[in-house]
Structure 1
Amino acid sequence: MTKIKYLLLFICMAGCLAACKKDLVEDTHDPVAQFTTDTNAIRAFVTKNNLVTKKDEEFGLFYQIITPGTGNIEYKATTLVTCNYTGRLLDGTQFETNNGAKFTMGGIIAGWQIGLPLIQKGGKIRLIIPSYYAYGNVKNGPVPANSVLDFTIEITDLQ
């Protein structure tokens, strides 16, 4: 009887692993191709909307410093940021707005980790973030997978 239980357990585990492997094999997401698609979409968006932006050459993030702010805080993973922000998709759909949001730098999307250190307290920045530095190929609430995100962020406090 024990042998039968182990045999059934083995068959169940093999079936689970085979199902997982099937999901992995069928995943055809290509982050390099998606990054190229995102960059082209951002360039078209910037041109269409007559935005004056800079591109971070290391990461490919587009940004516009509206107000640099004042201070000399050196950002670390533990830096506490208080800010007001609005997040939109490139089609203009607003998916989130928050006033007085508080978070540590280590707990936010990579696009914010790259862009926020460009300003200080009282500063305001617009970040246009390729999906790779946002939520990637995963849907996150109202944000579809592979979405370029457009944030306007004003830092009200840094600690």
Structure 2
Amino acid sequence: MKYSFLALVAVLFFSCKNKDADTTFDGVDYAAKNEVEIVKYIADNNLEATRSDSGLYYVINEEGTGKKPSASSNVTVAYKGYFTDKKVFDESQPEGISFGLNQVIKGWTEGIPYFKEGGNGILLVPSQLGYGSADRGPIPGGSVLVFEVKLLSVK
């Protein structure tokens, strides 16, 4: 019941906002749709997630003890990406991949700095912080992306 109320509030909140090109496409309000989908996923999986002002949800399983990255840091991250139905669309090797946080989707640029080196958790990325309304390879437009991430190092 509590989660149904939260989902209803989220739908009402987002339906009252001004629409923009990043959240509405072909008459679909992806911001509202994604919010409901993420809230349901959190409830179904008994997660304790925090919502940022941008709409990113994150779960910190372990904060880590090393350096904390900024939005422009170069990092190495091991990850697994999947949809809310648990279908995996991408996964790194255990040694991770290295990249600049200013070169990836907005959800990662914002979300990875919540962790310190050695930290891990989950990022629940609405489409406006992911790939938007356009299809991108195996990812349909408007998709919520779920990432299990482990921050291996900050350079």
TM-score (norm 2): 0.78
Gaps of 5+ in 1: 1-27
1:23-66 per-residue CA deviation (whole Å, 9 max, x = no partner) reads xxxxx71698210110011011111111111111x111111001
Structure 1 pair 53–129 and aligned structure 2 pair: CA distance change class (3 A): same
Give secondary structure in 2 for the equivalent of 1:113: helix
> Where in structure 2 are the equivalents of 1:95-110 lying within 5 Å?
95-99=89-93, 100-110=96-106
- Contact persistence 2:69–2:116 (CA under 8 A): no
The one of 112, 129, 135 aligned to 1:139: 135
Residue number in structure 1 paired with 2:125: 129
Residue number in structure 2 paired with 1:59: 54
Is residue 2:36 matched to residue 1:40?
A: yes
- Measured after TM superposition, the shift of residue 83 of structure 1 is 1.2
The AA in structure 1 aligned to 2:125 is I
The AA in structure 2 aligned to 1:48 is D
Distance in structure 1 (CA, Å) of the matches to 2:63 and 2:35 = 25
Gaps of 5+ in 2: 1-23
- Contact persistence 1:31–1:132 (CA under 8 A): no
The AA in structure 1 aligned to 2:98 is K
Give secondary structure in 2 for the equivalent of 1:155: strand
Two-structure CA RMSD over aligned residues (Å): 1.7
1:90-135 per-residue CA deviation (whole Å, 9 max, x = no partner) reads 1110000002211001101000111111111101020001000000
How many residue pairs are counted as aligned between the two chains? 130
- Contact persistence 2:69–2:75 (CA under 8 A): no
Distance in structure 2 (CA, Å) of the matches to 1:74 and 1:128 = 19
- Measured after TM superposition, the shift of residue 73 of structure 1 is 3.4
- Measured after TM superposition, the shift of residue 76 of structure 1 is 4.0
Distance in structure 2 (CA, Å) of the matches to 1:59 and 1:129 = 10
Give secondary structure in 2 for the equivalent of 1:38: helix
Distance in structure 2 (CA, Å) of the matches to 1:82 and 1:72 = 12
Give secondary structure in 1 for the equivalent of 2:92: strand
Residue number in structure 2 paired with 1:152: 148
Structure 1 pair 29–82 and aligned structure 2 pair: CA distance change class (3 A): same
Distance in structure 2 (CA, Å) of the matches to 1:31 and 1:128 = 23
Residue number in structure 1 paired with 2:110: 114
The AA in structure 2 aligned to 1:114 is E
- Contact persistence 1:130–1:148 (CA under 8 A): yes
